[in-house]
Structure 1
C-alpha cells in the first residue's frame, strides 16, 4: 500500500506536468528515466528519491517544496469535504484541462468568462 506522502507527491508531479503541458514521456526524457517510472511516481506506487525529485522540479520549473504544498491540509480537506467539488480537484484530469484552457484565453475575455461562471453557479 503506497504511503500517503508518496501519493501526494505523485499527484503534485502529475498536476504540474499537466499545467506545463508536458507528457510523461517528455518528463522522463528530461530526467533520464523511462516514462513507466513517471507513471509509478504519479500514482505513488514508487517513491521518488530526493535527487530524482530535484531533477523533476528543475524539469517542471518549480521549487522542490511545491510537491509538498497542501500535504497537511489534504487530510483535513477530505474529512471536511461536504460540497460538490472533489477534495482532490487537482487530481482531476478534466479540471486541469479546464484550468489550462482558461489561462490560454486573453485576459479581458477570461474575466468575462469568470463573471459568467459565477452568475451561473449562483443560479444553480
Structure 2
C-alpha cells in the first residue's frame, strides 16, 4: 500500500522535474539510475531513500524540504495530505502556467502575483 508521504514526495519530484523541462530519462541519468525507478518514485510505488532524495534534490536544484512542502501539519500519522483544488501538481495547464510564471522577470512576476491576489479576493 502506498504511503501518503511517498505519494506526495513523488508528486513534488515530478512537479520540479517538469518545471525544469527535464525528462524522467534525463533525471535518471544524472542520478545514476534507470528511468523506470524515477517512474516508481513519482507515483509513490517505491519509497525514495534519504541518499537518493539527496541526489535528486541536488540534480533538481532544490532543498530537501521542497519535497515535503504542503504536507498536513499536526497529524503524526500523516493520513491527510493537503491537496490543492483538482490536485494542481498533476494538472498540465497549472504546471504550464507555473513554468511560464517563473520564466518571467521577478518584477513582472510580483505584479502578476499581486493582480491574481486582487482578482481572487474580488471573486
Q: Do the two structures share a fold, i.e. TM-score over 0.5?
A: yes
TM tier, smaller: 0.7 to 0.9
Match of 1:38 in 2: 38
- What number of residue pairs does the alignment pair up? 118
CA contact (8 A) 1:77 1:87 kept: no
Q: TM-score, normalised by structure 1?
A: 0.75
| Structure 2 counterpart SS, 1:71 | coil
Question: Cα offset for 1:21?
Answer: 1.5
Q: 1:118 to 1:8 in 2, by over 3 A?
A: closer
* Corresponding position: 1:19 with 2:19: yes
Is the deviation greater in 38-47 or in 65-74? 65-74
Q: 1:112 to 1:66 in 2, by over 3 A?
A: closer
Deviation per CA, 1:9-61, whole angstroms, max 9, x where unpaired? 00010111111111111100000001111011000011111110010000001
Question: Cα offset for 1:107?
Answer: 6.1
| Structure 2 counterpart SS, 1:21 | coil
Is the deviation greater in 89-98 or in 62-71? 89-98
Structure 1 residue runs without a partner (length 5+)? 79-84
Separation in structure 1 between the aligned mates of residue 4 and residue 81 of structure 2, nearest angstrom: 13
Write out aligned runs for 1:45-84 (5 A): 45-72=45-72, 75=80, 77-78=82-83
Match of 1:96 in 2: 95
CA contact (8 A) 2:3 2:44 kept: yes
Structure 2 residue runs without a partner (length 5+)? none
